[in-house]
Structures are given as structure tokens and as C-alpha cells.
Amino acid sequence: MKKILLMALAIPLLASCGDPEKAEFMDACTGGMRNDYQHELCSCAYSKVRAEFGDAKDMQRMILNNSSAFMRKMQVVVASCQREVD
């Protein structure tokens, strides 16, 4: 779970958008592992992060303005994905 949170924090640093952004998130989140569970969990987390926080610039503003609120929301997102995937 910590790995997913850390990777979600990396999204604002990505300069690209769309598929390249998701590919980079997925690579970092899965740690190169290709098992179905990890892929589903990370894909869910990416989708929910994008829905919750918008694009990378919006997320960066959220982190800079209120990082503790961002982390709380990320914990909710990850927990939700774990319930969905399990």
C-alpha cells in the first residue's frame, strides 16, 4: 500500500499525459511485477486517483497546498481498490 501511495505522489512530476502517464504509474506501482492482482490493484488506484484529483497539475496543487489531506484521500482510494480487487 505504501508503494501505491508513493507512486501516486509521483504523478504530478510526470510531464506527459494520457497513456504515457498511466504506463509510468503502472510500472512504478507494480514494481515490474506482472501478476493479475497487482495489475488490477494499480489500475484501480490510477483510475480513482485521476477521478478524485484530476490531472497531474491539479494533483500537484493539492499536494503542495494540503499534503496531509491528500494522503488521507489516497488511503481511502487504495483501501477502496483493495476491497474491489479482493
For the record, the C-alpha cell of 49 comes out as: 486517483
Give the total number of structural domains in the chain.
1
**Does the pLDDT of residue 1 top 70, yes or no?**
no
Euclidean distance between CA atoms 85 and 33, whole angstroms: 16
Higher pLDDT pick, 43 / 17 = 43
Torsion of CA 74, 78, 52, 67, to 10 degrees: 10
Quote the domain boundaries for residue 54: 2-85
Confidence of residue 5 (pLDDT cuts 50, 70, 90): low
**Positive or negative: CA dihedral 15, 13, 59, 35:** positive
Query: What is the 3 state secondary structure string of 20-55?
Result: HHHHHHHHHHHCCCCCHHHHHHHHHHHHHHHHHHCC
